[in-house]
Chains A and B, each alone.
Chain A
Amino acid sequence: MARWAYILTTFFALAAWAGAQGPVPAPTLTPADQLRLLKANGTLIDNLVDHGVALSGKDRIEERAEQCRNAAKALANAIHDAAGKQDAERVAELTNLFSNVVRDGLLPTLEDGKRTVTPESPAGKKLREVRGTATDDVTALKATIPATAKTKDSLKQLDELAEKLK
């Protein structure tokens, strides 16, 4: 009887230890892949660094919204290029990043502006303009991306953004 108790205790201890090992780490990119991605995304990173630096110098909310939309536009341009080359994986990856910028950066900034800026003021007008151009960006992207199984999620993300930008 005691032997079975020892065996079961050992078994559960080993199972707990194995379970505590955590998730399998994400596969690391080879240096060749890193180099390829750096070449592919060089211009985009350049733009994002520029917009980041510009964002850090903007205090007014309408200017911050505009810079944020510019960062999103840089990603949208890269998506257009990838769609032109029929690179569905890249389209999906970049659309994901574009959605993040619009959803987590631009939309909350526009909402903050709505609360703090008088609608009829120049700042309010600018905010509406930024919202409009961002909506146009999303519409143009939807028209560019071909509807395939690989881009299904990307198109869904864009639909959700278009809905939120309304």
Chain B
Amino acid sequence: MNCQAVQNQIIALPDPRQLSPALLAHVTECGACQAWARQAARLELLLEQLPVPPAPAEKKETMIGDLMQADPVIQPTAVPATRPSFASVAGRFVQRNASYVGGLAAAVLVVVGIAWYASKPTQVTPPLAEIHKHPLLEKMVKRDIALARAETPAKRLEELGGMAEELAGETRGMARVASPAELNDLARWYEKVVTKGMVPQAKNLPVHLTQAEKRKVLEPLAAKLETDAVEADKLSREAPQDAQPTLKRIADTARDGARELSRQGN
């Protein structure tokens, strides 16, 4: 061991006053290294005697906080090299072939969309609450409310006309499935609206209305009744035999009503 190495080792010791046997053997026989070791020991002694400044008041809390934090206290300084992952390889591939991959994805989406559309059921089963909703009943309720709020005879006539139209439409819709008794009910309601509602209202239009004003109110309603009559006649030729008398009855009622309304308007 040469002097340079001995002196370096003495300096590197935690306490230069505590020499290892190997170093002590060299220092005992070498004057230069002996002087070096003495100086290092003296320096250590002097350092011990230096006054230590007091630590900042919050230093302890900060340090405890650092130790208690969620992240590991010892941070990795370097990321070890690993093999490239599948995701990064796939990402690079997609970047290089963006057009082809995009085209392929779009084609898959189109095929999936067509398959879904073709396979979806055409008849949507209504939920239970929907099954209790009866469109005709709702329409009749709305007409009653509107009639309660209709302040003029013309407005009431309009609502009654709507009611008759809805009943005629329902009859046409049910002509092929309903029994004669049910169709009869529908025809009876239609008759009631036209003969007991529309015709008396047409006769009771206010006297202060001119004939032209009356015609303006009554003509569209008469035209609607004519349409009901034509539709019912047309359907009666194609409907089951059971339904034909009912449709004929509706056609007759509508035609009579239209005639009466037209007469009031002229």
Query: Which A residues lie at the B interface, using CB under 8 A?
Result: 3, 7, 26-27, 29-35, 37-42, 44-46, 48-53, 55-57, 64-65, 67-68, 71, 75, 89-90, 92-93, 97, 100-101, 104-106, 108-109
B90 interfacial by beta-carbon distance below 8 Å: no
With A52-B144, A68-B144 in contact, is A34–B128 under 8 Å at CB?
no
User: A89 near B129 (CB under 8 angstroms)?
Assistant: yes
User: A49 near B102 (CB under 8 angstroms)?
Assistant: no
A-B contact pairs, 27 of them (CB 8 A): A27-B125, A27-B130, A34-B173, A35-B174, A35-B178, A41-B134, A42-B182, A45-B136, A46-B189, A48-B143, A49-B167, A52-B140, A52-B143, A52-B159, A56-B160, A57-B197, A68-B148, A71-B141, A75-B141, A89-B129, A89-B132, A92-B132, A100-B142, A101-B144, A104-B145, A105-B148, A109-B148
Interface residues of B: mostly helix, strand, loop or mixed? Answer: helix
A148 to B145, CA, bound (A): 29
With A48-B140, A97-B137, A101-B141 in contact, is A55–B129 under 8 Å at CB?
no
B258 interfacial by beta-carbon distance below 8 Å: no
Q: Give every chain A residue within 8 A of B60 (Cβ-Cβ).
A: none
User: B136 near A100 (CB under 8 angstroms)?
Assistant: no
Q: Give every chain A residue within 8 A of B78 (Cβ-Cβ).
A: none
A39 to B182, CA, bound (A): 8
Q: A-B contact count, CB below 8 Å?
A: 131
**Shortest beta-carbon distance, B236 to chain A, in Å?**
19
User: B182 near A100 (CB under 8 angstroms)?
Assistant: no
Interface residues of A: mostly helix, strand, loop or mixed? Answer: helix
**Candidates A45, A56, A65; contact of B137 at CB < 8 Å:** A45
**Candidates B135, B141, B176, B185; contact of A100 at CB < 8 Å:** B141
Query: Which B residues lie at the A interface, using CB under 8 A?
Result: 99, 102, 123-126, 128-138, 140-145, 147-150, 156-157, 159-160, 163, 167, 173-174, 176-178, 182, 185, 189, 192-193, 196-197, 200-201
User: B147 near A48 (CB under 8 angstroms)?
Assistant: no
The chain A residue with its CB closest to the CB of B125 is A27
A50 to B176, CA, bound (A): 26
**Shortest beta-carbon distance, A62 to chain B, in Å?**
12
**Shortest beta-carbon distance, A31 to chain B, in Å?**
4
A29 to B136, CA, bound (A): 12
User: B126 near A52 (CB under 8 angstroms)?
Assistant: no
With A56-B197, A105-B148 in contact, is A29–B192 under 8 Å at CB?
no
**Candidates A26, A29, A49; contact of B189 at CB < 8 Å:** A49
User: A56 near B201 (CB under 8 angstroms)?
Assistant: yes
